[in-house]
């Protein structure tokens, strides 16, 4: 079973482009240098991978979704279609970079073991992902709907860690943490909450038959979330909290 959700590149471009648009801070943390070999772990359609390549570093991507792999390759990027838990490289990379991916993976010890094996002895790991408290209002609404309709939430694999929890796992995997922080980042959703749910919670939404029942579930979710996440002028936001860290081999 894949460790990650499988994405549709076209839907992601329409409703999820903000994910890479908000990636500049963690790219600054990466600070890629000419001559380095960098792995973008869960590269998606390659938007941030391309930015890393512009620094003069050599960059490769790993991505599990076939549609995203195709989109990244259309950018001229070198990308393997592979589940990150199956990564089996040996001391190849100067750095591993990952944005908005690791919270989809529950088995961090296995994941970090693969990362450590793939890094050179002085390599670094630079990550941003969902952190403790991420999309709390949205998850609460989905849990309420799941209970009401007696269906699963399809959220069991999500790992929203605190900096302390992440640091402990990193230390146990043989990393030394340079910096770890949790940042609340309320995020504007250009295509609205319905578009966000259709992409980032598609497994939950699509278990309901198309038509009246699915429409009813969506309407309930929107009505529950509106007081917290919709502004007076009609703009929707997601209650994102991001975990960011830099860790080095030790």
User: For 80-138, how does the pLDDT look when each residue is reduced to its tens digit (9 = 90+)?
Assistant: 999 999 999 999 999 999 999 999 999 999 999 999 999 999 999 999 999 999 999 99
Instruction: Please tell me the predicted confidence (pLDDT) of residue 24.
Output: 87
Give the SS3 label for residue 213.
helix
Could you report how far apart the first and last alpha carbons of the chain are, in Å? 31
State the Cα–Cα distance between residues 82 and 80, nearest whole angstrom.
6
- pLDDT, one tens digit per residue, over 58-78 is 999 999 999 999 999 999 999
pLDDT at position 15 over 70: no
Mean pLDDT, residues 22-30 taken together:
89
- pLDDT, one tens digit per residue, over 180-225 is 999 999 999 999 999 999 989 999 999 999 999 999 999 999 999 9
State the Cα–Cα distance between residues 208 and 220, nearest whole angstrom.
13
Instruction: Please tell me the predicted confidence (pLDDT) of residue 6.
Output: 60
pLDDT at position 14 over 70: no
How many domains, in total, are found in the chain? Answer: 1
Tokens 């860690």, residue located:
161
Strand 58-63 to strand 78-81: parallel, antiparallel, or no bridges (unpaired)? parallel
pTM for the full model? 0.90
Q: Following CA atoms 225, 210, 189, 162 in sequence, which dihedral angle do they give, to the nearest 10 degrees? A: 70
Instruction: Please tell me the predicted confidence (pLDDT) of residue 3.
Output: 46
State the Cα–Cα distance between residues 111 and 128, nearest whole angstrom.
15
Range of 22's domain? 9-135+157-189+238-249
Instruction: Tell whether 201 is covered by a domain.
Output: no
The CATH number of the domain where 65 resides is what?
3.40.50.150
State the Cα–Cα distance between residues 88 and 81, nearest whole angstrom.
13
Instruction: Tell whether 212 is covered by a domain.
Output: no
Instruction: Tell whether 228 is covered by a domain.
Output: no
Instruction: Please tell me the predicted confidence (pLDDT) of residue 35.
Output: 95
Instruction: Please tell me the predicted confidence (pLDDT) of residue 12.
Output: 46
Instruction: Tell whether 151 is covered by a domain.
Output: no
State the Cα–Cα distance between residues 8 and 47, nearest whole angstrom.
15
Instruction: Please tell me the predicted confidence (pLDDT) of residue 17.
Output: 46
Instruction: Tell whether 233 is covered by a domain.
Output: no
Q: What is the pLDDT confidence band of residue 155, given thresholds at 50, 70 and 90?
A: confident
Mean pLDDT, residues 161-180 taken together:
98
Is residue 65 within 8 A of residue 202, CB to CB? The reply is no
Angle at 167 between CA 163 and CA 173, to 5 degrees: 150
Is residue 6 within 8 A of residue 104, CB to CB? The reply is no
């Amino acid at each position: 079973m894949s460790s990650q959700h499988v994405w549709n590149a076209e839907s992601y471009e329409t409703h999820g482009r903000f994910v890479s648009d908000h990636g500049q801070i963690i790219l600054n943390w990466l600070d890629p240098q000419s001559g380095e070999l960098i792995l973008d772990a869960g590269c998606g359609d390659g938007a941030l991978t391309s930015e890393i390549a512009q620094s003069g570093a050599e960059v490769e991507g790993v991505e599990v979704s076939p549609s995203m792999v195709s989109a990244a390759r259309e950018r001229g990027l070198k990308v393997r279609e592979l589940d990150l838990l199956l990564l089996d490289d040996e001391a190849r990379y100067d750095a591993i970079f990952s944005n908005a991916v690791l919270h989809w993976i529950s088995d961090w010890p296995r994941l970090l073991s693969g990362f450590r094996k793939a890094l050179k002895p002085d390599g670094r790991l630079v990550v941003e992902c969902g952190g403790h408290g991420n999309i709390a209002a949205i998850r609460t609404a989905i849990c309420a709907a799941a209970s009401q309709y007696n269906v699963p939430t399809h959220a069991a694999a999500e790992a929203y860690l605190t900096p302390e929890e992440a640091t402990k796992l990193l230390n146990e995997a043989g990393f030394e943490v340079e910096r770890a922080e949790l940042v609340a980042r309320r995020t504007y959703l250009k295509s609205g909450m319905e578009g966000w749910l259709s992409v980032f919670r598609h497994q939950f939404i699509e278990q309901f038959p198309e038509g009246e029942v699915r429409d009813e579930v969506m309407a309930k979710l929107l009505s529950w979330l509106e007081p917290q996440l919709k502004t007076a002028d009609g703009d929707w936001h997601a209650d994102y909290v991001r975990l960011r860290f830099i860790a080095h081999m030790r």
